[in-house]
Amino acid sequence: MIEFHLDSDSGVSPYMQLVRQVKHALRLDLLREGEQLPTVKDVVAQLAINPNTVLKAYRELEHEGLVAPRPGLGTFVTRTLAGNSLAAHGPLRKDLERWLAKARLAGMDDESIEALFMTTFRSAGQEEIA
Amino acid sequence: MTVALEAQGLGKKYGKRWALSDCTLDIPAGRVVGLVGPNGAGKTTLLNLAVGQIQPSAGSIRVLGGRPAEGPAQLAKVGYVAQDTPTYAALSVADHLKLGARLNPSWDDALARKRIERLRLDPGHKAGKLSGGQRAQLALTLGIAKRPELLILDEPVAALDPLARREFLQGLMEAAVEHSLGVVLSSHLVSDLERTCDYLIVIVESRVRVAGDVDDLLASHHRLTGPRRDPSTLPADQHIVSESHTDRQSTLIVRTDAPIHDPAWTVGQVGLEDLVLAYMSAEQARPTLEAVR
């Protein structure tokens, strides 16, 4: 089962952080179809947050067709986001690890690596749109 | 929808000084309400009025549809954890539960015992020997096991260290879900309320500055930065909460439900803490406005 955490300095609203963490887990296959999300009570007791925040996050996920409530039981995953690309994750990760090793050899620190990755990622995204 | 707390022109005067004045509120039931303001702003006065420990000097207040402290039914519906989570130092934890059972017709003894066990409190321990966090948890246990519809807490975590504070709020939120408990809690720190509350009341110098659903408040407040300009030239639907100016630049926090189209402004979001601080500092920054109104 997924365990939530909140970053209070991120500027992202708590409910959106919960939504993103579920989607993230679905993409990485850490959370699979049929599996249960923590109950509202459990999340609230763990994070000391407002119950409506959790309800709102679960409603949003339900609205996107990713989870569904089963009355009296809890909320369950109905669809995965990992899809067919999952098989490619392993090799892609290997490539990325090789690339990271090269970047370190070139003397780049964490922040420079992240900055380079993000600018490349964004400009590639823009080319696709264009 | 039922109403948790409804106040009309509510005020309380001590001698010549109004501790709370012209307070009008309409808080829906089933919410976790945060009451925030500096020390001495009138938070405790409002909470004491809500539980009927003091009587209004002006206006009226109704809690869950009834007059505060009016008869046993009303007393059973509303729980109160007073400032600094008081307990009886000479009584043991078990004595506190016995007292709770004696004083409250709807006392849930199983719940109280379960909570005490989970908190690993020794029933034979005197309350005076407990740590601040444990005392607060004991007071919370009494408040929850009374099984009220609305639990009112006055600065419950002010004196606690960060860990005890978190554990207290965890217990409180859990009870809110498990027993569909409405909660009103006050604090002079927004950070205590930021995650826990979905409804916020800001009270400054005996007056309610702003009250509303947290999401609505966040959506309707904006930070505008741009070239210096006279705030009186703003559209009428943009209410200025706070303003600061340098020679060249103006920074405003405004409240409006309409989108802001003026290209001169850079529009930013306002976090809850900044929003509350804007209302708190507004009074000092513009004392004349209040006098004119």
pLDDT tens digits, A32-88: 899 999 999 999 999 999 999 999 999 999 999 999 999 888 999 998 887 767 778
User: How much is the pLDDT for B85?
Assistant: 85
Across B122-140, average pLDDT: 94
> Nearest residue of A to residue B270 by CA position?
A11
Residues of A in Cβ contact (< 8 Å) with B169: 48
User: How much is the pLDDT for A130?
Assistant: 58
B170 touches chain A (CB under 8 A): yes
More confidently predicted of B84 and B8: B8
User: How much is the pLDDT for A81?
Assistant: 81
Mutation target vs B (from A10, A15, A17, A49; most B CBs, 10 A cutoff): A49
Q: Are A78 and A66 in contact (CB under 8 A)?
A: yes
Q: What is the pLDDT of residues A12-22, one digit of tens each?
A: 888 999 999 99
User: How much is the pLDDT for B287?
Assistant: 42
Domain match, B161 and B46 both:
yes
User: How much is the pLDDT for B233?
Assistant: 86
Task: Give the pair of three-digit tokens for residue B277.
Answer: 């601080």
Name A110's Cβ contacts closer than 8 Å, sequence gap at least 6. Answer: none
Sign of CA dihedral B89, B95, B96, B100: negative
Domain match, B144 and B266 both:
no
Domain match, B234 and B154 both:
no
Residues of B in Cβ contact (< 8 Å) with A14: 195
Nearest to B174 among A6, A11, A44 (CB): A44
Q: What is the DSSP string of B81-145?
A: E-TT----TTSBHHHHHHHHHHH-TT--HHHHHHHHHHTT--TTSBGGGS-HHHHHHHHHHHHHH
Q: Are B186 and B43 in contact (CB under 8 A)?
A: yes
Q: What is the pLDDT of residues B224-246, one digit of tens each?
A: 999 998 888 888 889 999 999 99
For B85-118, letters b (16+ CB in 10 Å) and e give bebeeeebbebbbeebeeebeebbeebbeebbee
Domain match, A19 and A77 both:
yes
Across B89-101, average pLDDT: 95
Domain limits for position A103: 85-129
Start-to-end CA distance of chain A, whole Å, equals 40
What is the value of ipTM here, to two decimals?
Answer: 0.76
Domain match, B58 and B189 both:
yes
What is the Cα–Cα distance from B228 to B249, expressed in whole angstroms? 4
B171 falls in which pLDDT band (50, 70, 90)? very high
Nearest to A40 among B171, B177, B271 (CB): B177
Domain match, B133 and B266 both:
no
What is the Cα–Cα distance from B80 to B184, expressed in whole angstroms? 10
A10 touches chain B (CB under 8 A): no
Mutation target vs A (from B167, B195, B274; most A CBs, 10 A cutoff): B195
Averaged pLDDT score across all residues of chain B: 91
B285 falls in which pLDDT band (50, 70, 90)? very low
Residues of A in Cβ contact (< 8 Å) with B33: none
Q: What is the pLDDT of residues B253-264, one digit of tens each?
A: 999 998 888 888
Q: Which residue, of A57, A81, A105, is where some domain finishes?
A: A81
Q: What is the pLDDT of residues B142-164, one digit of tens each?
A: 999 999 999 999 999 988 999 99
Name A81's Cβ contacts closer than 8 Å, sequence gap at least 6. Answer: A23, A26, A27, A66
Query: How many beta-carbon contacts under 8 Å exist across A and B?
Result: 48
User: How much is the pLDDT for B292?
Assistant: 37
| Predicted TM-score (pTM) of this structure | 0.82
Domain match, A89 and A76 both:
no
User: How much is the pLDDT for B293?
Assistant: 37
Q: Which residue, of B159, B178, B205, is where some domain finishes?
A: B205
Number of domains in chain A: 2
Residue B256 buriedness (CB in 10 A; 0-12 / 13-18 / 19+): middle
**Residue B13 belongs to a domain with what CATH number?**
3.40.50.300
Closest approach of A82 to chain B, Cα-based (Å): 31
Task: Give the pair of three-digit tokens for residue B266.
Answer: 């850079």
B69-76 contacts: CB < 8 A, separation 24 or more? B72/B105, B76/B104, B76/B105, B76/B106, B76/B146, B76/B148
B271 touches chain A (CB under 8 A): yes
Task: Give the pair of three-digit tokens for residue B6.
Answer: 């409804």
Domain match, B274 and B143 both:
no
Number of domains in chain B: 2
Domain match, B25 and B160 both:
yes
B211: in domain: no
A2: in domain: no
Across B57-68, average pLDDT: 95
Nearest to B174 among A14, A45, A52 (CB): A45
Domain match, A34 and A90 both:
no
For B156-177, letters b (16+ CB in 10 Å) and e give bbbebeeebbbbbbbbbbbbbb
* B141 pLDDT more than 60: yes
Contact at CB, B195 and A14, closer than 8 angstroms: yes
Contact at CB, B194 and A11, closer than 8 angstroms: no
B132-145 and B162-178 helices, crossing angle to 10°:
10
A115 touches chain B (CB under 8 A): no
More confidently predicted of B62 and B289: B62
Q: Are B35 and B152 in contact (CB under 8 A)?
A: no
Q: Are A83 and A32 in contact (CB under 8 A)?
A: no
Domain match, B194 and B288 both:
no
In degrees, to the nearest 5, what angle opens at C-alpha B221 toward C-alphas B218 and B222?
115
What is the Cα–Cα distance from B66 to B68, expressed in whole angstroms? 6
Domain match, A25 and A62 both:
yes
Domain match, B227 and B96 both:
no
What pairs with residue B263 in β-bridges? none
Domain match, A54 and A98 both:
no
Share of chain B above pLDDT 70, in %: 96
